[in-house]
Amino acid sequence: MSSAASYGCVYFDRRCFRKDDVKSSKGRKLYVCNSVASTPQGLQFANTKVQIPEKTVRIGVLGASGYTGSEIVRLLANHPYFGITLMTADRKAGQSIGSVFPHLATQHLPDLIAVKDANFSNVDAVFCCLPHGTTQEIIKALPKGLKIVDLSADFRLRDIKEYEKWYGQPHRATELQREAVYGLTEIYRREIQDANLVANPGCYPTSIQLPLVPLIKDNLIKSKNIIIDAKSGVSGAGRGAKEANLYTEIAEGIHSYGITGHRHVPEIEQGLSEAANSEVTVSFTPHLMPMSRGMQSTIYVELAPGVSVEDLYQHLRIFYENEEFVVLQKEKEVPHTRHVRGSNYCFMNVFPDRIPGRAIIISVIDNLVKGASGQALQNLNLMMGIPESTGLNYMALFP
């Protein structure tokens, strides 16, 4: 993994701020961080789009009382350009973020309000962290001109008939669906750069598509008989009170669910089918693990004729060698969820199967960061024309 870094200043269009430069917007100050590291790809897109920012980017977080919303708030605490001016949480309206999430009590932020009471005149961009099925009408009603990253599933499926089939209700913003860009950053970076609405990928699809899309696109693996065994921390099920998520139901065991019918299946197959230029069907079984966060996808694939496991490894190495957040580990090193906890990284590796002609791919992410809020911030950085790693250079929490 290689990166370009500038220390003591931040470069935009060959100009820079020193770390002590201050810009203000309506009395609010913007302090530029001491150093920003970014990939060559991120710097390339930043240099082509944005001039030196004159103001902070004013951020609204819709659904701030959920896990993905709180992760957005945590990540933005150290972002030099994005400042939160609006937070909504219907059931927690009137409360401070510190009373809902004590670990965020040191942040000086506006109180939570109901969505219906939100005033977007002081907002430039929105993270929408609302439940599936509730987002379409809310985003449709937002003022024009906002940059929006939606963390729900409401705009991920391009075929609205597929959405209705898997989510059990008709799509309520079909015109917006046509302009939504799927936000798997490393694969759709150029499209995301010019988007107004980005559908942030699901956690399982992120961990699965990152290794598979490059291999399928270049015909190194067969697009049939792909078997995916995926495991997630309990936070992936959301913060709502559910009997199935009680400690006594989850602890000291593994909970398989959504067998043959998980809602991420069409999203996974959509991305892989596009890479293959033909319909791809996968066998996908998710499991809930007794841990707070983390995700591992173990993927079993058939090699294309004449292709070796080493060919897969070298192709992924070249494809991701300049990426900030996707790391192909050294040969024989096994990716573990504990090594990406709290970070925006995806660690992956490829191993030979005992069955000739097959390979095993292991991919790990933090389901709340690269699988949700971190990738959402990476996408909004791109949309606003700044280096995509800004505010995301957190190392993993270990142990």
Residues 7-28: tens digit of each pLDDT: 233 434 322 333 333 333 343 4
At 38 the three-state DSSP class reads strand
Q: What is the pLDDT of residues 64-96, one digit of tens each?
A: 999 999 999 999 999 999 999 999 999 999 999
Cβ atoms of 76 and 82 closer than 8 Å = yes
pLDDT number for residue 203: 98
Would you say residue 391 lies in a domain? Answer: no
> How far apart are alpha carbons 372 and 189 in whole angstroms?
16
Q: What is the pLDDT of residues 358-368, one digit of tens each?
A: 999 999 999 99
- Tell me the CATH number at 231: 3.30.360.10
Cβ atoms of 388 and 374 closer than 8 Å = no
Q: Does residue 32 surpass a pLDDT of 90?
A: no
Does one domain contain both 164 and 76? yes
Token pair, residue 203, equals 């956690």
Would you say residue 246 lies in a domain? Answer: yes
Domain of 12 in residue numbering reads as 4-201+372-383
Would you say residue 398 lies in a domain? Answer: no
pLDDT, averaged across the chain: 88
Q: How confident is the model at residue 245 (pLDDT cuts 50, 70, 90)?
A: confident
- Number of structural domains, the chain? 2
- C-alpha distances in angstroms, 9 versus 33, 52, 56, 82, 306? 8, 12, 17, 17, 49
Does one domain contain both 42 and 85? yes
- Which value, to the nearest 10 degrees, does the dihedral of the CA atoms of residues 191, 197, 202, 206 take? 20
At 153 the three-state DSSP class reads coil
Could you tell me how many helices (H) and strands (E) the chain has, helices first? Answer: 12, 19
Would you say residue 392 lies in a domain? Answer: no
Would you say residue 389 lies in a domain? Answer: no
Of 98 and 47, the structure prediction assigns the larger pLDDT to 98
Does one domain contain both 191 and 248? no
Does one domain contain both 195 and 259? no
Would you say residue 134 lies in a domain? Answer: yes
pLDDT number for residue 246: 80
Q: What is the pLDDT of residues 328-368, one digit of tens each?
A: 999 999 999 999 999 999 999 999 999 999 999 999 999 99
Q: How confident is the model at residue 43 (pLDDT cuts 50, 70, 90)?
A: low
Would you say residue 51 lies in a domain? Answer: yes
Does one domain contain both 58 and 78? yes
pLDDT number for residue 164: 96
Would you say residue 75 lies in a domain? Answer: yes
Token pair, residue 75, equals 């990540």
Which residues are the active-site residues? 203
Does one domain contain both 187 and 211? no
Does one domain contain both 177 and 260? no
Does one domain contain both 221 and 190? no
Q: What is the pLDDT of residues 157-211, one digit of tens each?
A: 999 999 999 999 999 999 999 999 999 999 999 999 999 999 999 999 999 999 9
Does one domain contain both 211 and 299? yes
Does one domain contain both 189 and 269? no
Of 246 and 229, the structure prediction assigns the larger pLDDT to 229
Does one domain contain both 246 and 196? no
> What percent of the chain clears pLDDT 70, i.e. is strictly above it?
85
Does one domain contain both 168 and 72? yes
Q: How confident is the model at residue 3 (pLDDT cuts 50, 70, 90)?
A: very low
- Tell me the CATH number at 43: 3.40.50.720
Q: How confident is the model at residue 40 (pLDDT cuts 50, 70, 90)?
A: low
